Structure 1
């Protein structure tokens, strides 16, 4: 009997460790293990392994840069400069945003199976240290703005306000995914502003692009939220996953259709070529459609795989379609 109990405990420990690898405080073996042990909790806090979270923040910035480059016919050197500066800024912004999220979420994280091993909850990083880390990373991100036009710094304000509020959104509304989608998608405005478009948010094509990105991120983050849906319902955390439950896939298909419509609108307004419609529109719609059709929302591993790996297909399609369209 004792042996059976020991085996059962071992299986539960292995399951919890596997769950914790899904941005729950345990990283997959690899480059992180080469770092000093004191650094590892901060890498986990910043969601740097795998880098999906970082690139979900950076890619909208990149899309905005490419949009401005196509519209304003900028030199390649200007485009590369903006891409490099915003990649650096996105890295530190991502670090700050995730540290802030875990700082506010700590009381919830310790009650959720997947997140109860995050660095703050398990005691490897104190609340004070997490706050100092978040503040230092935010200041580092701000330093990159000094190399960019003044309008770029102004354009970051809405996303900063949204990211600051976001940890509480999941307690106030069932649509935190839309709020997160806005925060991340606003990067397209920031990216466009680096190449001289002073008020990108007033341009209809940019609005179409932002709307498409918000829907893309909402789809992905809804699937991500399904990893914790059982615990979230117990704890009182709200999300589109909790709200729609058995109707979630129908909702995701609807969002995909809307996203496709906004991409078509963007293409028409910018007089995009065939390459845009084949790669950006076709590739992103097909990849997202494959994800919605294939993901098993009741399987946490399936949700994690499509979140951490599947987004590259959509992001890559949009990137190459904007470049070659």
Structure 2
């Protein structure tokens, strides 16, 4: 089945709109450089735009920066580990998104934004998707062979959570919290790669995890609002449907908790002024602007502020932790 099938029934403007929201149609021109049969697979793993794999990698990077600062590790070791985490995160992201779309395909076909995803539109069969998911999972596992043995153990909770996540949207109204926890657990994995033993028992690490989890829960709630009408119609459960007109109040509550964990984390690690100025103030202010400005009734606004809500706080968080590590060397 050709790529164009995913475009049928949509105007050029609608197609571009869907492509910008992981609707299964890409917008980046570099994707078209690949052979046509490859394109649905690139769409499937969410490489255009590249927010999806970076959402996976950023918590791993933050955990690694946290451990590097605490342990006072050499730059060469930290760089080598961060590159390994980048490769592993990319393949883990691929496997997780394929699995999600494989399980979600019957529902995706009934939702306007997602019905053009490669499995839902028929460009990739369930068998092909499953084989592709396994191949990506094995590639992600291969990176663990170059990391300490304890790292493999630390990945187990996030793997279990990622496998269950597609069904969480049917079983409870809180899949955003599960997704936030699964993504944030990357900080535990990142910390374990650079020598923090049992990081789930380390208070600063877990404060960082909580801050990341709340941030991702806020982002995914806004992202979910794009499909709220279709989700309610087909029986999907989530925070947007549970809170509806009170969702902004929930977002502000999660925002307050998030800011609190960022500050407590800084206190626990005795962070310098750069952390508070870059990470704490930067993340808190950018999240506040996002929550204040986003129009939850507008799909375009939700996507725009979801994107800003990832890039801006993500940059502040990464830079703040990076500067903390560099200043400790």
User: What's 1:91 paired with?
Assistant: 90
8 Å CA contact 1:50–1:308 kept in 2: the answer is no
CA distance in 2, matches of 1:232, 1:153: 35
User: What's 1:137 paired with?
Assistant: 136
What does residue range 166-205 of structure 1 map to in structure 2 within 5 Å? 166-205=165-204
Using structure 1 for the length normalisation, give the TM-score. Answer: 0.95
Deviations 1:16-50 (A, max 9, x none): 65234410111113211111111110011001100
CA distance in 1, matches of 2:64, 2:81: 7
Deviations 1:212-232 (A, max 9, x none): 111000000000000100000
CA distance in 1, matches of 2:318, 2:20: 28
Let me know the Cα RMSD of the aligned residues.
1.4
Which consecutive unaligned segments of at least 5 residues does structure 1 have? 1-8
Give the secondary-structure state (helix, strand or coil) at the position aligned to 1:271: coil
User: What's 1:3 paired with?
Assistant: none
8 Å CA contact 1:46–1:98 kept in 2: the answer is yes
What does residue range 108-257 of structure 1 map to in structure 2 within 5 Å? 108-257=107-256
Q: CA deviation at 1:309?
A: 3.6
8 Å CA contact 1:223–1:303 kept in 2: the answer is yes
User: What's 1:310 paired with?
Assistant: 309
User: What's 1:5 paired with?
Assistant: none
CA distance in 1, matches of 2:317, 2:280: 7
CA distance in 2, matches of 1:12, 1:36: 24
Using structure 2 for the length normalisation, give the TM-score. Answer: 0.94
8 Å CA contact 1:162–1:179 kept in 2: the answer is yes
8 Å CA contact 2:219–2:309 kept in 1: the answer is no
CA distance in 2, matches of 1:52, 1:306: 13
CA distance in 2, matches of 1:55, 1:30: 20
